[in-house]
Amino acid sequence: MTVMVFGAGALGSLIGALILKSGQDVVFIARGEQYRVLKERGLKISGLMDEEFEVEVYDRPVDADLVFLTVKAYDTEKAAELLRDVSFDGICSLQNGVGNEDILSGYFSAVVGGVTTYGANLKEPGHVVYAGEGMTFLGDWKGNAAHNFADVMEKAGMNVEVVGDIGKRIWEKAAINAVINPLTAICRVRNGKIVEIPQIWTIAKKIAGECEAILGRMGFHVDVENVARDVALRTSENRSSMLQDVEKGKRTEVEFINGAFVRKGRELGIDAIYNEMMVNLVRGMELGMD
Ligand SMILES: NC(=O)C1=CN([C@@H]2O[C@H](COP(=O)(O)OP(=O)(O)OC[C@H]3O[C@@H](n4cnc5c(N)ncnc54)[C@H](OP(=O)(O)O)[C@@H]3O)[C@@H](O)[C@H]2O)C=CC1
Ligand SMILES: CC(C)(CO)C(=O)C(=O)O
């Protein structure tokens, strides 16, 4: 059994390292400087684990049995096109945002949706910090492969559960990210500050209200304001992934987070003007970067 990790950045390298450490075969797909360093020097994981791994790494996909997809959401379509040329039995997205599984379902017959709270940061090429042990929920989106992916993760000692409501969980996580991520990125603050600073929290509540109305109409009843508040406070010292992207001058996943609520709101006839404002402001920042 060979497991491919397509997108060996922060999360993919961590997941791949944990699977490799358990004695299972892993191939890593990377690009650019990350590919070069992984090939020449291997992978270093620090933080909750302190180990170095020699890794089998390629700059294009190869045949495998199972594929974990860990590219950013805006790279999913391109990854699917590349993966079409190789053979594997199932693909599992561990990405944030909405829409990845639908894109993959247009290409492949066994697609698994995933939501994970494991935390990883890329310190420098080839060096990933394992920042938080979390939980991963997997669910079949198309076909029947979730249990195969869960077996691999379980063997690797990871916390994982196969669930029947992965769609709801993906949207729920997207709602939490829709409230916290753009505001932390625009205001350049850590997560906890969006609750502490009343001027920011006022806007957060508007975004949460729109997300809750949309999720409610979809049959997903979530108290978005309170859940997002709890997550922001529990992760109060975190710099959100969107803030980190903006600070590094990288593109963000805002179109797959707040943008997903704007599109779903339009479809359902529900206003999502605060989410739309977040998309425009964050995209504006991205496009204005030198
Ligand atoms: N990091 C975390 O703790 C968590 C992340 N997530 C989600 O997981 C996903 C990945 O996040 P993260 O690991 O932080 O992001 P990273 O940018 O660190 O990792 C993605 C990696 O995929 C690479 N990549 C993209 N396209 C290709 C390609 N065609 N061929 C080879 N490599 C490719 C990227 O290269 P390049 O840098 O050149 O673009 C990058 O190295 C996101 O959706 C994120 O929201 C979810 C939970 C936790
Ligand atoms: C939950 C949260 C907001 C934690 O920082 C996150 O998922 C992110 O930063 O993308």
* Complex ipTM value: 0.98
Query: Does residue 133 have a pLDDT over 80?
Result: yes
pLDDT of residue 29: 98
Max CA separation in the chain (angstroms): 53
Ligand 2 within 6 A of CB of 116? no
Rounded to whole angstroms, how far apart are CA atoms 172 and 178? 10
**Protein residue with its CA nearest to atom 2 in ligand 2:** 240
Angle at the Cα of 78 (from 83 to 268), degrees rounded to 5?
Answer: 115
Rounded to two decimals, the pTM is 0.97
Q: Which of the following is catalytic: 44, 142, 168, 173?
A: 173
Whether ligand 2 lies within 6 angstroms of the CB of 231 is answered as yes
Q: What order of strands is seen across the sheet that includes strand 66-69?
A: 56-58, 25-29, 2-6, 66-69, 90-93, 111-116, 136-142, 160-162
Q: Looking at residue 234, what is its pLDDT?
A: 95
CA distance between the termini of the chain: 45
Q: What's the CA gap between 243 and 249, in Å, rounded?
A: 10
What's the mean pLDDT in 35-62? 98
Query: What's the alpha-carbon Rg for the chain, to the nearest Å?
Result: 18
* pLDDT for position 60: 97
Ligand closest to the CA atom of residue 115 = 1
CA angle 70, 73, 77 (to 5 degrees): 95
- In the block, which residue shows the tokens 């922001």? 232
* 95 confidence band (pLDDT: 50, 70, 90): very high
Cβ atoms within 10 Å of 180's Cβ, excluding its own: 28
Taking the centre of ligand 1 as the mean of its atom positions, its distance from the CA of residue 73, in whole angstroms, is 8
Confidence of residue 289 (pLDDT cuts 50, 70, 90): confident
User: Could you give the strand order of the β-sheet that contains 43-47, starting from the edge strand earlier in sequence?
Assistant: 51-53, 43-47, 127-132, 119-124
Average pLDDT, integer, range 231-254: 96
Mean pLDDT value across residues 124-138: 97
| Helix 198-217 × helix 224-234 angle, to 10° | 130
Above 90 in pLDDT, residue 26? yes
pLDDT higher than threshold 80 for residue 290? no
Residue type, 270: I
Cβ(187)–Cβ(200) below 8 Å: yes
Supply the pLDDT for residue 206. Answer: 98
pLDDT of residue 157: 98
**51 CA → ligand 2 middle, Å:** 25
21 is catalytic: no
**Of the candidates 117, 118, 119, 114, which has an alpha carbon nearest to the alpha carbon of residue 163?**
114
